[in-house]
Structure 1
Amino acid sequence: MNTFKAIVVTENNDQVSYGIEIVNLNSLSDGEILIKVSYSSINFKDMLAVQKNGGVIRDYPMIPGIDLSGTIVHTTDSRYHVGQEVIVTGFAVGMSHTGGFAEYARVPVDWIVPMPENFSLKEAMIFGTAGFTAALSIMALEKNGMDINKNPRILVTGATGGVGSIALQILSKIGYKNIAALIRKEHQLEVARSLGATDVVYVEALGEQNKPLIKQKYDFVLDTVGGDIASVLIPQISYGGSMSMCGNAGGIKLTSTVLPFILRGINLLGIDSVNVPIENRGSIWGKLANEWNICQSTLVREITLEELSQTIEAIKHGNHLGRTIIKYS
């Protein structure tokens, strides 16, 4: 433990770069819990973290990685013990607090979730922030009227990415039968169907946003991309329907009129997975570990820390499918 490997993001002469470095415990941020990391996962936000002006990391050097699962090797808090398996996602991990792209991580005690029963360290990171966000999105939509018994028309955007692919599988597993997947590329079609989509829609088929209200095509939309895609879909949501929004890969601007909201009573549901109170996280992870556990069918690739840059580039250029997790020895 004297030294160990980590990805370190640095800034020199206004240029941002990253790579594997040998670091020690003094390189880690403060916290009551020291964790030997077993797995981490790679998210869109992690790709942004290693880019210039990515908006994730502002102080350098920094160890990125917004997710991790592992085993406690030291604790100053009596509520937890050495050898206990835990999950850490969100809060400032991998942003302003050193994160999961390292063999060890140190975090505040109030950021950790004890591992649910019948759930493995690997399964926790197959879900990671992406799965946690997918769960929050589905829960928000169901709270706002999405009901299996009503056979609603559901559209999932970014359907073969991290959040979208897990959302498709969960929706299918719990019994929804009318799930459309929004995709951009031909090779994503069979992937989307294999994940549980009953229909596939290409982005080009959505049309342009040129009318404040158009045909009501979808009762509920689980949006993971934002931007123009979300803007085009708002006028297509049916009366009383809802759209959850959790991502900005398609841009941060949203263009709409008030008409879908005041004439059709639709709802936009903002989804934040970063600052969910710790007291609420255990029940969500428990649901993912049990009735919503789709790990056996998830499209997942396991890599080493040395292979990270390949996945970062795939996410950056829109060529990444499903989930990629990092396994530490």
Structure 2
Amino acid sequence: MAEAFRALVLDQHDKKVTSEFRNLTTDDLPAGDVLVRVKWSTLNYKDGMILNGLGRLVRTYPHVPGIDFSGEVVTSGDDRYKPGDEVVLTGWRVGEVHWGGYGQMARVKADWLVPLPDGLSGRQAMSIGTAGFTAMLAVMALEEQGVSPDEDGEVLVTGAAGGVGSVAVSILSALGYKVAASTGRAETHDYLRGLGATTLVDRNELTDTSKPLLAERWIGAIDSVGSTTLAHVLSEMKYHGAVSACGLAGGPDLPATVLPFLLRGVRLIGIDSVMCPYATRTKAWERLAKELPTDHLAAATTKIALGDVVEWGEKILKGQVKGRVLIDVQDC
């Protein structure tokens, strides 16, 4: 029998995206192997864009946004998941081409899910969310390139007050790295120091792209801004430094040259948290459960009701949000 639930539904009229909360039933959901009662979701920059009809990330309407969620399995056509199992979903363009986490029920493919790892509640998992998951992938990529806390130097995190940046600072600090956090918001300095940043860098220091190579500063970097910021960071990497790039807030253009790569052996690794293989996703979530300080997690998280998500979507686009935004999906 179909079950009723509430969801935020986007629609499009005359090329303008509108949103409203509607009463739906599970018969309205798209096809999938597993039906999940969604308990928690998050608000990311991409969600803000989708809520405001920016970037053509959603092509088919009506649509339920929300690019990640955690919850409890209701029914499953896959032997890996049983009713009552706690699960997490990030990626696979959920919330873009497939209905996502801003509804109290979701139906998805079993391959998209990950069992909730031991040591994490569903609420904690979404306090981490796609942003924190991406941050862990970025840290793992630096490790695979040989970047180590034993090296003499700092790892730079750009966009450090945002979702990815906040968790990246916390993870790196917990692992023993010296962390430089870049932000343009002076009011977040104490917040970033509390997460473990040892040095604060004004983002205006990372804008010079007139020279392909500058003085060596960083053993590694996690960049969630892109464009001129990433180009500047590449020019300041130490010999054989590595950069994990995971964001395009500044745009897709990269006004850099090949000199950092040829003359300093710098390595640039793109982080794709969307089409991430199951084994890598599972490893990243297990590490988050063990290595991310829970006190830092709480400090970096703001909880809101699903009913407030449209208002907060506008705030995140205006740069008025720091850290993670956790959504109580059942509160609508």
TM-score by length of 1: 0.96
Partners of 1:34 and 1:106 within 8 A in 2: yes
Give yes or no for the alignment of 1:42 onto 2:43: yes
- Whole-Å Cα distance in 1 between the matches of residues 249 and 47 of structure 2? 12
In the aligned structure 1, how far is the partner of 2:166 from the partner of 2:99?
28
Deviations 1:155-189, CA, capped at 9 Å, x for gaps? 1000010000000001111111x211000021121
2:155 corresponds to: 154
1:88 CA drift (Å): 0.8
Stretch deviating more after TM superposition (195-204 or 42-51): 42-51
Whether contact under 8 Å (2:224, 2:245) holds in the other structure is yes
Tell me whether 1:23 sits opposite 2:7 in the alignment. no
Question: What secondary structure, in the 3-state scheme, does the structure 2 residue paired with 1:325 have?
Answer: strand
Aligned AA for 1:196?
A: G
Deviation at 1:55, TM superposition (A): 3.0
Contact 1:216 / 1:237 at 8 angstroms: preserved in 2? yes
Q: Equivalent residue for 2:56? A: 55
CA–CA distance in structure 2, aligned partners of residues 317 and 263 of structure 1: 39
Contact 2:170 2:292 (C-alpha < 8 Å) held by counterparts? no
Deviation at 1:265, TM superposition (A): 0.9
Q: Look up the equivalent residue of 1:218 and give its one-letter code.
A: W
How big is each residue's C-alpha offset from its partner over 1:69-112, in whole Å with a ceiling of 9 and x where there is no partner? 00011112222211111111100211111100110000011111
SS at match of 1:318: coil
Q: How many residues align?
A: 327
Whichever residue aligns with residue 57 of structure 1, its letter is V
Query: What do residues 7-34 of structure 1 show as CA deviations (whole Å, max 9, x unaligned)?
Result: 1111101111222121122331110100
Give unmatched runs, 5+ long, in structure 2.
none
- 1:196 aligns to what? 196
User: SS of the counterpart of 1:201?
Assistant: strand
Indicate the larger mover: 21-30 or 97-106: 21-30
Residues 179-218 of structure 1: per-residue CA shift (max 9 Å, x gap): 1100002112111111111010101223521111111111
Q: Is 1:296 paired with 2:313?
A: no
| Gap regions ≥5 residues in structure 1 | none
Letter in 2 for 1:65: G
Contact 1:156 1:223 in 2 (8 A): yes
For residue 205 of structure 1, what is the aligned residue in structure 2?
A: 205
> Does the C-alpha gap of structure 1 residues 233 and 33 become closer, same or farther in structure 2, counting only changes over 3 Å?
same
User: d(CA) in 2 for partners of 1:293 and 1:235?
Assistant: 30
- 1:224, CA displacement in angstroms? 0.7
Matches within 5 A, 1:175-324: 175-176=176-177, 178-290=178-290, 292-298=291-297, 299-324=300-325
2:44 is matched by which residue type in structure 1?
A: N
Q: Amino acid of the residue matched to residue 181 of structure 1? A: A
**In the alignment, which residue of structure 1 is the partner of 2:129?**
128
For 2:152 and 2:126, how far apart are their aligned partners in 1?
31
Is 2:140 aligned against 1:104?
Answer: no
Instruction: Identify the range of structure 1 (161-170 vs 75-84) with the bigger mean alpha-carbon deviation.
Output: 75-84
Q: Letter of the aligned partner of 1:282 in structure 2? A: T
RMSD value over aligned CA atoms?
Answer: 1.3
Letter in 2 for 1:308: V
| Structure-2 separation of matches of 1:143 and 1:180 | 20
2:11 is aligned with 1:7: no
User: 200-209 vs 265-274, which deviates more?
Assistant: 200-209
Change (3 A) 1:83 1:258: same
Question: In 1, Cα distance between the equivalents of 2:115 and 2:204?
Answer: 44
Conservation of the 8 A alpha-carbon contact between 1:181 and 1:201: yes
1:54 counterpart SS class? coil
Deviations 1:98-131 (A, max 9, x none): 1001100000111111111121011110111111
The range that moved more, 178-187 or 23-32, is 23-32
CA deviation profile, 1:27-72 (whole Å, cap 9, x unmatched): 3111010000110011111112123342321111110111110001
How much has 1:293 moved relative to structure 2? 2.5
Distance across 1 between alignment mates of 2:207 and 2:317: 25
Q: Which amino acid aligns with 2:292?
A: N
CA distance in 2 between counterparts of 1:204 and 1:279 reads 39
* Conserved 8 A contact 2:213-2:260: yes
Contact 1:154 1:220 in 2 (8 A): yes
User: 2: distance between equivalents of 1:87 and 1:214?
Assistant: 42
Normalising by the residue count of structure 2, what TM-score does the alignment of the two structures yield?
0.95
Counterparts of 1:128 and 1:24 in 2: how far apart (Å)? Answer: 26
CA distance in 1, matches of 2:121, 2:279: 21
Q: Distance in 2 between matches of 1:34 and 1:210?
A: 53
Q: Match of 2:138, as an amino acid?
A: S
- Identical columns (%): 39
